[in-house]
Amino acid sequence: MTLHLYAVTAGSAGPPQVTGIAGGAVRSVAIGDVSAVVGDVGEGPAAPTEAAVLEHARVVEELMGTSDALLPARFGHGFADEGELAGAIAARERELAAALQQVRSCVELGLRVVRRDVAAGPASDGSGTDYMRRRLGSVREAEATANEVHDALAASARASRRQVLATPKLLLTGAYLVPKQDVDSFREGVDDVEQRHPELSFVCTGPWPPYSFATVDTDASDA
């Protein structure tokens, strides 16, 4: 049997009242100051089918209802047994404790900001140099707008992540760690910023479990 990891929680949680991938049992294993929420998934790591991915997300979502500090696991952890799991947790004990402290009582809100005004292709007039110069200018302008939008929202979040211009249309992909009781006021902040930018479309999603703030193996700076 392989152990599939759903999440890491602070303290020793009671037995989770949820059903796992493919109807499997879910249990909480206390390791030091944290607990790992795992389930058996047969031989080898769980296959990343769309159904399994959605079930993993559902389990994490349900755990959020009973745990105040939880780090969702990226899909695909397969541990041979509890010993291997305990070793992996112990190796990152300090980082996990710090990440759990940061996300406590918080949820994640997602934001995608799409440009409505992106030109379909290069203008026909002018030299290649002119075109490149205009294009560079427009990219810099877009980056400045993306950073302004992000900074305005990040100011009222406990932590944030940004990706600017993932595609020419997708100006900003943001994630914001917000205390649960501040979700409504954060959304109002998004509405305010949106009204200042009629040239942009805003899509705010969530609240999510804090997936974007559960990374412990890299530094915590903006991506």
Partner 1 sequence: MSTRTATLAEQVTLIELVDRVLNKGVVLSGDITLSVAGVDLVYVGLRLLLTSVASLEERAAGEE
Residues lying near partner 1 in the complex (CB under 8 A) are found at 5, 7-8, 45, 47-50, 53-54, 56-57, 60, 71-78, 88-89, 91-92, 96, 99, 110, 112, 114, 116, 169, 201, 203, 205, 208, 211-212, 214-217
Query: What letter does residue 195 receive in the DSSP assignment?
Result: H
Query: What letter does residue 105 receive in the DSSP assignment?
Result: T
Q: Least separation, in Å, of the C-beta of 77 and partner 1?
A: 6
**Token representation of residue 33:** 């100051």
Among the listed residues 74, 105, 72, 75, the one whose alpha carbon sits nearest the alpha carbon of residue 177: 105
With respect to partner 1, which residue has the nearer C-beta, 50 or 125?
A: 50
With respect to partner 1, which residue has the nearer C-beta, 43 or 125?
A: 43
Q: Least separation, in Å, of the C-beta of 49 and partner 1?
A: 6
Q: Is 68 exposed, middle or buried (0-12, 13-18, 19+ CB in 10 A)?
A: middle
With respect to partner 1, which residue has the nearer C-beta, 30 or 132?
A: 30
With respect to partner 1, which residue has the nearer C-beta, 71 or 149?
A: 71
DSSP assignments along 36-53, one per residue: EEEEE-SSSSPP--HHHH
